[in-house]
Amino acid sequence: MKVTEKDVSYVAELANLDLTDRERAGMLRDLNSILEYVDRLDELDTSDVPPMAQVSDRYGVDQSKRGSERFLYAMREDIPDGLRKSLPHEEALANAPDPDEQFFRVPKVIER
């Protein structure tokens, strides 16, 4: 077993998930079986292989340039008002579970 119950608890905490005891047990089983399968990647020597994070590197990035110059393809002119108008306050708050007139409300963060 690669992954222990402690690992599952730790990762669940990072992911902001509580999980029931039953879910934890299932997760432990599934993670171990998936990771065992994933381990076949170790058969490959990738020491000289660069990582690929994005396909857009293929059609945009100019490798002859340095720094942010490489990403000029994604640049556009700055438009002070934005490409589209910002959402009206009301619309931006419309889907919030607990809005007031102005803000998204959440439980108190700072204890006094």
Partner 1 sequence: MNNLDSLNIDAVRSAVQERQTTAFAFAEAHYARIQDRDGEIGAFLTLCRDRALAQADRIDRMAAEGQPLPPLAGVPVAIKDVMSTSGVRTTAGSKMLDKYIPPYDCTAVERLERAGAVVLGKTNCDEFAMGSSNENSAFYPVRNPHDLTRVPGGSSGGSAAAVAADMAVAALGSDTGGSIRQPASFCGVVGLMPTYGRVSRYGLIAFASSLDHIGPLTKTVKDAATLLQVIAGRDPMDSTSAAVPVPDYLAELDRPIRGVRIGVAQEYFGEGLNDEVRQSVESAIDTLKNLGCEIIPISLPHTPYAIPTYYLIATAEASSNLARYDGVRYSLRARGVKTLSEMYRRSRDEGFGAEVKRRIILGTYALSAGYYDAYYLKAQKVRTLLTRNFDEAFRKVDAIATPTSPTAAFRLGERSDDPLAMYLADVYTVTADLAGIPGISIPCGETKDKLPIGLQILGKHFDESTVLRVAHAYEQA
Q: How far apart are CA 2 and CA 35, in angstroms?
A: 8
- Stretch 58-97: interaction string toward partner 1, x if CB under 8 A: xxx------------xx-x------xx--x---xx-xxxx
**Contacts with partner 1: how many residues (CB under 8 A)?**
57
Burial 92-110 (b: 16+ CB within 10 A, else e): ebeeeeeeeeeeeeeeeee
Decide if residue 49 touches partner 1 (CB under 8 A): yes
Question: What is the full DSSP assignment across 57-75?
Answer: GGTT--TTS-GGGGGGGG-
Least distance in angstroms from the C-beta of 67 to partner 1: 17
Q: Which is nearer to partner 1, 101 or 109 (CB)?
A: 109
Q: What are phi and psi of 61, to 5 degrees?
A: -60, 130
Binding residue for partner 1 (CB under 8 A) from 1, 25, 26, 69? 26
Decide if residue 41 touches partner 1 (CB under 8 A): yes
Q: How far apart are CA 5 and CA 50, in angstroms?
A: 34
Q: How far apart are CA 100 and CA 94, in angstroms?
A: 10
Binding site for partner 1 (CB under 8 A): 3, 7-8, 10-12, 14-19, 23, 26-27, 30-31, 33-34, 37-44, 46, 49-56, 58-60, 73-74, 76, 83-84, 87, 91-92, 94-98, 104, 106-109
